[in-house]
Structure 1
Amino acid sequence: MNNSSKKLSSKEVEELLSVLKDRFEKNRNRHEGMEWSNVLARLETHIEKLWTLNEMEETGGEPDVVGYDNQTSEYIFYDCSEESPKGRRSLCYDQEALESRKQHKPKDSAVNMAAAMGIELLTEEQYRELQRLEKFDLKTSSWVQTPAAIRKLGGAVFCDRRYNHVFLYHNGADSYYAARGFRGSLRV
């Protein structure tokens, strides 16, 4: 599917912007010093990104602004749902892992789903940045971008928060669990 067919109706745009504005205002700690009017102006300039934000929202990610890149003038959105997004769980890591499963294949992989949505999996560093804002994934876990050397050996990494600490773990890339999903990022 190309990006030109990934458009929202004017009603969907209005509803999404209302949800994003409300979340932005209720969670000022995630973006201190930023103003919604500036975020809105950027979104209106890059209207094509609204489809992706809507996909993040529809799968339970609750996207919100967590940063601003001064060099590119982009706002950075992360999935800020309390737990790993419900609509993105029970996924193995990537296409290679999905193909390697002979039985009981999951519906998709985290990397495939993220790409289809137009987002990137959080890196370990981004995940830790998110956890500095609030406490996330107290009952679930989230796949994060896996270093090539680990992936080459069949593994993949994920993170969660337990005992008031953020942990990085490993698993076979073909594994999947009902409580493991992924969080993504989008630059607008």
Structure 2
Amino acid sequence: MTKLNNISDNKELAPEQSKELIKILKERFEKNMSYHIDIRWDKVQAKLETNKDKLWALNEMEVTGGEPDVVGYDKNTDKYIFCDCSAESPKGRRSVCYDRDALESRKEHKPANNAVDMAATIGIDILTEEQYRELQKLGNFDAKTSSWVKTPDNIRKMGGAIFCDRRYDTVFVYHNGAESYYAARGFRGMLRV
């Protein structure tokens, strides 16, 4: 499978990679049927097979530890919604500050990357606080880690960013300087196919 650090301009998987990824996604889909009641895998797979760029993005979600799965269907756009469903914040997307401005503002001990740029490179959207709370209705996520969420402009303009986690069976929203980064904080993404 491809690696995020070695992304090429060709955002299409080789046929054998596509087949392997679809197999992984199908197994996960069947294991977590409560995430997507009334959604049929054959329809999801048909969408994946005709959207090679989306399949590539799902592969990047997978190789960075996101364990993407279907969490919904938007009737208005006829798109299936995939989200990172790993128990903890995706391991390959941790230790990142919030965005490029935050990264550039650090004078020393800079992280290797930032959440906003990584999400754009992968081709996914960082979850909003509302989407994060919806995900938490499907299970218990981020019991030991935390995830950056899309920060409102007014907070970001003041240098802050927000993140969420689940502790004491409750979803919490916190704030930090956008330039901060921690080994246990990453981000979760969403993709519409």
Instruction: Tell me the TM-score range normalised by the shorter chain.
Output: over 0.9
Give how far 1:47 is off. 2.0
In structure 1, how many angstroms separate the alpha carbons of the residues matched to 2:180 and 2:96? 8
AA paired with 1:66? V
Does the residue aligned with 1:5 lie in a helix, a strand or coil? coil
Give how far 1:42 is off. 1.1
The answer to whether structure 1 residue 153 and structure 2 residue 132 are counterparts is no
In structure 2, how many angstroms separate the alpha carbons of the residues matched to 1:11 and 1:127? 33
Does the residue aligned with 2:162 lie in a helix, a strand or coil? strand
Unmatched segments (≥5 aa) in structure 2: 1-5
The aligned counterpart of 2:82 is 77
Deviation string, structure 1 residues 101-137 (Cα, Å, up to 9, x no partner)? 0000000000010000000100000000000000000
Give how far 1:46 is off. 1.3
TM-score (structure 1 length as normaliser): 0.98
In structure 2, how many angstroms separate the alpha carbons of the residues matched to 1:38 and 1:116? 27
Contact 2:96 2:114 in 1 (8 A): yes
The aligned counterpart of 1:165 is 170
Identity across aligned pairs (percent)?
A: 66
Alignment RMSD (CA, Å): 1.3
* Deviates further, 46-55 or 121-130: 46-55
Does the residue aligned with 1:91 lie in a helix, a strand or coil? coil
Deviation string, structure 1 residues 163-183 (Cα, Å, up to 9, x no partner)? 000000000000000000000
AA paired with 1:159? C
The answer to whether structure 1 residue 61 and structure 2 residue 66 are counterparts is yes
Pairs aligned (count): 188
Contact 2:127 2:188 in 1 (8 A): yes
In structure 2, how many angstroms separate the alpha carbons of the residues matched to 1:140 and 1:178? 9
The aligned counterpart of 2:182 is 177
AA paired with 1:24? F
Does the residue aligned with 2:104 lie in a helix, a strand or coil? helix
TM-score (structure 2 length as normaliser): 0.95
The aligned counterpart of 1:123 is 128
Does the residue aligned with 1:104 lie in a helix, a strand or coil? coil
Task: Please point out which of 23, 27, 31 is paired with 2:28.
Answer: 23
AA paired with 1:73? D
1:3–1:129 distance in 2 versus 1, CA, 3 Å: farther
Unmatched segments (≥5 aa) in structure 1: none
Does the residue aligned with 2:52 lie in a helix, a strand or coil? coil
Does the residue aligned with 2:49 lie in a helix, a strand or coil? helix
The aligned counterpart of 1:135 is 140
Contact 2:13 2:52 in 1 (8 A): no
Give how far 1:6 is off. 1.1
In structure 1, how many angstroms separate the alpha carbons of the residues matched to 2:75 and 2:99? 32
Does the residue aligned with 1:145 lie in a helix, a strand or coil? coil
**1:3-22 matched pairs, under 5 angstroms:** 5-22=10-27
In structure 2, how many angstroms separate the alpha carbons of the residues matched to 1:116 and 1:83? 21
Task: Please point out which of 86, 109, 112 is paired with 1:107.
Answer: 112
Give how far 1:4 is off. 6.0
Does the residue aligned with 1:33 lie in a helix, a strand or coil? coil
